[in-house]
Structure 1
Amino acid sequence: MREKQVFAMNGFLAIFFILALLGGGAASFLVSESLVFPIIAVVVSALIASGIGMVQPNQAKVVIFFGNYLGTIRKSGLFFTVPLTIHSKVSLRVENFNSEKLKVNDIEGNPIEIAAVVVYKVIDSAKAKFDVEHYHKFIQIQSETAIRHVATKYAYDNFDDTDKITLRGNPDEISEELKRELEDRLQIAGIDVIETRLTHLAYATEIAHAMLQRQQAKAVLAARKEIVEGAVQMAKASINQLEADGAFELDDERKANMVNNLLVAIVSDRSAQPVINTGSLY
């Protein structure tokens, strides 16, 4: 099916013509007391009235004549088209669909919860009306199917410090891919996908605590790595400065002890306890 225009004219002219017919029929009855012309006037007026309708802004009326699609009227206002036709309304306004929280497995098999919002509008009223059964329900099912499909192609998060795309780390890329997939799926229904965005993304409750511990451990390891690297640089700089000043000489054993003490004091997550060596009492 393809949307096409149908014959339509100003509906107020049709109403004026109906009033003129009815007025002429009434006048004819009063003059001649004959019912022929009044009956014809009433029948013709009823036929004309069956072709009158109204279109709201951002709305379309699909015109059906005894099961045949004649065309679509998009111009808002009162109109007159082919009599004895059915005028089916199709909204052209921008609409939102908020999916439910879907529980799926990412590419690594971790159960996650995901949801998205889809912003769309009808651009072909004929496809939306005739090519699918209840296009709102069609959008809902296809959107949830696309969300599940995209979610299973990527990992929730990246623990390997690589540049691969993840659901949490690349929301814009995931939204764009979801939009492209929905456009392919909803094209048959004459739907234009304007935007898609993830509205909810989290690990499933049964593994959320374990994954949180994993993230915390990764953060602790990264922090410890930076602390150790800084401590090594500080110890190296301290020994070099002492040797450069020439205050005293350090052999290899004393250097090792100093480096050990400095690393313990800097790397430890607790305050260092100073120990004063006063020498032997005896």
Structure 2
Amino acid sequence: MSTTTSHPSEPDGPADGPADGPARPARLIQNEATTEIPVHLLFRDDPDPAPVPLKPAVVGRRHGTGEQPRLRRPAAPKRQVPQVDPDLAERPARVLPGAVGVLAGACGAVGCVATSWWAGVLPPLAGEALRLPVYAGTGLGLAQWAAYAGAGALGLFGLGGLARGRTGRAWVLDLFGRYRGTVRRSGLLWVNPLLLRRRVDVRLRHWRSEPVPAADGSGVALRVVVLVVWRVRDTARATLGVEDHEAYLRECVEAGLTRVPVEMPGGPRGAGDAAGEALTRLVAADAAPVGLEVFSVQPVRVEYAPEVAAAMHRCRIAALDAQHRASVLTSVVDSVEDTVTRLTVRGLVELDDYERKALVKDLTVAFCAGRGETAP
């Protein structure tokens, strides 16, 4: 690109070309620095340029504009909810009606009696009571002992598995540490006696806590007693997912109180309900993975911590005293103003500025003294 310089006085017009070719107008663009660029160089018919690979734009500070770079705030880390074994979930256990266990126990007892009669060791009185024919017996041999063992095992297995299911109670069954199901049925049942049974209360329950440390919106230490309404929803996770689900629930409530500010009674309207709703959401989210369903967490008593109770009591007494003094002073000023206005309006006295100030002073002292004497 060529650059030429021309004087501002020269008009823009066609320039003389070479003698052997056609004349081409040299139209120029002139800027403030008297630098001119031929226009035909800006609009040349060049072939399409090769594509330029684009790079990711980097947003930075633009010099000379005063604009500050836009900084992206790091995303707040999501609150992690505790998780337990995803394969651990409540499922019904295989149980039989209680009549099966009773029948098996009766069969075992009958087998023991029949084996004793067969071996000839049945007492005569028992034989007469059962109306069995007299039989000398073959004695206790290997066959008799095997029959004894089979009948006794059947009777023990049948009677040992009998259990009574109650409404609102459940059994969590496991065999050698492996979860085998949950029994929520009521009535007489037969459960495999080899399974370990753990009783779980699945009724709707409430728990009133002891005073738990907390804080209000200003960071003042408090002691809060909360009432929690909850129940066990998944017995497998509540029993096998944690060591003690009741202790876990207490810890969740204490952790929630450290994150939710609680206001003293008499604070802003709706502050107590908002704190209860926030506590319920937090505790329910923490307790859900272990099979607990939390319906409500409400503060029922809020008081200052012992280390700040005395200081807050003094502050409240001082505030009440200041409020009382302000009300008394307002009443005295109104009374003095009304008295002076009536005396002057009715023409009972004529006062100049000095006398008016003296009268106001005397009336104020008198009214304050009278209020002090009549005050309880």
Tell me if both proteins adopt one fold, taking TM over 0.5 as the criterion.
Answer: yes
Corresponding position: 1:27 with 2:114: yes
AA partner of residue 88 (structure 1) = R
With over 3 angstroms needed to count, the CA separation of the structure-2 counterparts of 1:154 and 1:59, relative to structure 1, is: closer
1:15 positional shift = 1.4
Q: What is aligned with 1:264?
A: 365
Residue number among 81, 86, 99 corresponding to 2:210 in the alignment: 99
Provide the rounded CA distance (Å) in 1 between the counterparts of 2:314 and 2:212: 24
Mapping of 1:79-98 within 5 angstroms?
79-82=189-192, 84-93=194-203, 94-98=205-209
Provide the rounded CA distance (Å) in 1 between the counterparts of 2:326 and 2:226: 37
Corresponding position: 1:178 with 2:285: no
Query: Which secondary structure state, in structure 1, belongs to the residue aligned with residue 94 of structure 2?
Result: coil
Provide the rounded CA distance (Å) in 2 between the counterparts of 1:61 and 1:155: 42
In the alignment, is the contact (CA less than 8 A) between 2:163 and 2:190 conserved in 1?
yes
Corresponding position: 1:143 with 2:253: yes
Q: What is aligned with 1:221?
A: 322
Provide the rounded CA distance (Å) in 1 between the counterparts of 2:212 and 2:201: 27
Provide the rounded CA distance (Å) in 1 between the counterparts of 2:303 and 2:170: 37
Provide the rounded CA distance (Å) in 1 between the counterparts of 2:310 and 2:235: 48
1:215 positional shift = 1.4
Provide the rounded CA distance (Å) in 2 between the counterparts of 1:59 and 1:122: 10
Q: What is aligned with 1:234?
A: 335
In the alignment, is the contact (CA less than 8 A) between 1:22 and 1:38 conserved in 2?
no
1:61 positional shift = 0.6
Q: What is aligned with 1:280?
A: none
With over 3 angstroms needed to count, the CA separation of the structure-2 counterparts of 1:54 and 1:43, relative to structure 1, is: same
In the alignment, is the contact (CA less than 8 A) between 1:97 and 1:117 conserved in 2?
yes
**Unmatched segments (≥5 aa) in structure 1:** 273-282
Mapping of 1:183-194 within 5 angstroms?
183-193=284-294, 194=296
Residue number among 210, 220, 237 corresponding to 1:127 in the alignment: 237
- Point out the structure with the larger helix share: 1
Provide the rounded CA distance (Å) in 1 between the counterparts of 2:99 and 2:343: 101
In the alignment, is the contact (CA less than 8 A) between 1:101 and 1:200 conserved in 2?
no
Provide the rounded CA distance (Å) in 1 between the counterparts of 2:285 and 2:365: 60
Query: Which secondary structure state, in structure 1, belongs to the residue aligned with residue 185 of structure 2?
Result: coil
Range with bigger deviation, 219-228 or 28-37: 28-37
Q: What is aligned with 2:30?
A: none
AA partner of residue 98 (structure 2) = G
Provide the rounded CA distance (Å) in 2 between the counterparts of 1:216 and 1:251: 43
Corresponding position: 1:10 with 2:97: yes
Output one character per residue of 1:163-210: Cα deviation in whole Å (capped at 9) or x when no partner: 488xxxx555434433332222222232233443344522333x4333
1:73 positional shift = 1.6
Residue number among 153, 156, 179 corresponding to 1:43 in the alignment: 153
Q: What is aligned with 1:278?
A: none
1:97 positional shift = 4.8
AA partner of residue 291 (structure 2) = G
* TM-score using structure 1 length: 0.74
Query: Which secondary structure state, in structure 1, belongs to the residue aligned with residue 293 of structure 2?
Result: strand
Mapping of 1:198-217 within 5 angstroms?
198-199=300-301, 201-205=303-307, 207-217=308-318
Structure with higher RCO (Cα < 8 A, 6+ apart): 1
With over 3 angstroms needed to count, the CA separation of the structure-2 counterparts of 1:157 and 1:22, relative to structure 1, is: closer
With over 3 angstroms needed to count, the CA separation of the structure-2 counterparts of 1:71 and 1:106, relative to structure 1, is: same
**Unmatched segments (≥5 aa) in structure 2:** 1-87, 120-137
Output one character per residue of 1:84-108: Cα deviation in whole Å (capped at 9) or x when no partner: 3221111235252523553x66553
